[in-house]
Amino acid sequence: MITIDRTGASWKYPFALIWLGQVFSLFGSGLAGFAIIWWLTSTTGSATVLATATLATLLPGVLVGPLAGALIDRWDRRTVMMLADLTGALCAAILAYLFWSETLAIWHVYIIMALRSLAGAFHWPAMQASTSLMVPDRHLARVAGLNQMLQGATNIVAPPLGALLIAIWPLHGLMLIDVVTALIAVCSIGLVRIPRPPRTIHTVETSRSSVVADMIAGLRYIWRWPGLIIVMAMAALINLLLTPAFSLLPILVTKHFGGAALQLAWMNTAEGAGIVIGGIIIGIWGGFRRRMHTVVSGLVGLGISILAIAIAPSHAFLLALAAVAIVGAMSSVVNAPLMAIIQSVVAPDMQGRVFTVLGSISMAMSPLGLVLAGPIADTFGVQVWYLFGGILCLLIALTALAVPAVRHLEDRRHDERPVGGVTGVTSP
């Protein structure tokens, strides 16, 4: 088994092995997700069914997130990630059988999507919390940029390839691809010995407390940190406005620009390409020395590009297309260094709880935003929502600069003293 030593150059090769396994898994999940949505659409043609499927994907992470974080900080994170990937493989295998036997029902899809979402609620924070133990601090922003690039590339490649495969291959074949790619991810994690967090006062408290007490301790840890609370509130507000804004792209394309499916496809491709470009930029450059300056710059670029979409006249589709690409790039410029900041300042044995709370708060805002966006867009026009979103991003950028607790967030380091004379990172 390969051991990671983040103090030297040798960390790159075992981490790359894990990362490549996740590349396969994310790609397979993208193909499977496209196939499932296509089946729901072609079978029912119901917006209610699609909305319910979206809720089945969102709610497990929102409801279970804080508890999942407490368990992640208590359990071995390597095991958590492997079990989450195995759960994804099992779900895909069940779908493959149901497609093959032609016995798949709508309620099957709801349950499978909820289970996959539940597995993701454990996998994503476990991976993020482990990254800070595998990657040197100075490279965290670059790794986060590569993750953003991977997400954008999946958004570009998976839908058209999924559409092509659906035309020439049965749906259970696409599910089997997801099974294989998930097993590749499990094997890649199994080959590497992921470090455990150093022993601190939090570790001792966790070993003596219940899971619910661990969850409460995580919430208290966040509550005592004003800068972290404000950052989480900012993330929630951005999700409240921007998630619905980009769910309204089909309305913007058809009603404002007079476009059709081709123009909508160009919009989706431009956003994915922007995410990739932004991820590459951060992956190579790494951002400013002070990461919060990079976050603020990205927020300003995000706000301006969203405002450009809001004010683009009906004959300026190319302007809106370019603005959408910049939105994708700026989202990487914001998310990558912000993730690196949290990974570097939050105590390693608290990161599972912090990341799951952050994810739960962010995801919880998306359904609320979707409920509000429809009536507002119908009443005042879809571009008003983009106007709100652009102004909000600029206001948040100003807040990040004006509030010392946010501006100096990265200056704080997890300063808990090791317990029992144990220092550094130990391996399982």
Q: Could you report the per-residue pLDDT of 22-74, keeping only the tens digit for each?
A: 889 988 988 888 788 778 877 876 656 766 777 788 778 777 877 787 788 78
Residue 15 forms part of a structural domain: yes
Query: Is pLDDT above 90 for 385?
Result: no
Higher pLDDT, 146 or 386: 386
| Strand (E) or helix (H) holding 3 | strand 2-3
Q: How far apart are CA 184 and CA 187, in angstroms?
A: 5
The answer to whether residue 175 scores a pLDDT higher than 70 is yes
Three-state DSSP at 320 gives: helix
Distance CA 72, CA 79 (A): 10
pLDDT at res. 209:
54
Query: Over the stretch 279-337, which tens digit does the pLDDT of each residue have?
Result: 888 888 888 888 899 999 999 999 999 999 999 999 999 999 999 999 999 998 998 88
How confident is residue 178, by pLDDT bands cut at 50, 70 and 90? very high
Contacts of 153 (CB under 8 A, 6+ apart): 272, 276
Report which of residues 313 and 152 the model is more confident about.
313
pLDDT value at 199 more than 60: no
Whether 419 maps to a domain, the answer reads: no
177 within domain boundaries = yes
What's the pLDDT score for residue 411? 82
Bridge partners of 193, per DSSP, are 3
**CATH number, position 96:** 1.20.1250.20
Per the domain annotation, does 43 fall within a domain? yes
- The b/e string for 407-419 (b: 16+ C-beta within 10 A; e otherwise) is bebbeeebebeee
Q: Report if residue 33 sits inside a domain.
A: yes
Domain contains 230: yes
pLDDT at 101 > cutoff 50:
yes
Residue 325: predicted pLDDT? 93
Question: pTM, whole model, 2 decimals?
Answer: 0.67
Look at 100-104, 321-325, 367-371, 424-428 and tell me which has the smallest mean pLDDT: 424-428
In a domain, 193, yes or no: yes
Q: Is the pLDDT of residue 97 over 90?
A: yes
In-domain check, residue 26:
yes
- Total number of domains in the chain: 1
What is the model's pLDDT at position 3? Answer: 56
The residue range of the domain holding 17 is 2-411
Backbone φ and ψ of 284, nearest 5°: -90, -45
Q: What is the pLDDT of residues 334-349, one digit of tens each?
A: 988 888 888 888 888 7
Of 263-267, 393-397, 405-409, the poorest mean pLDDT is in 263-267
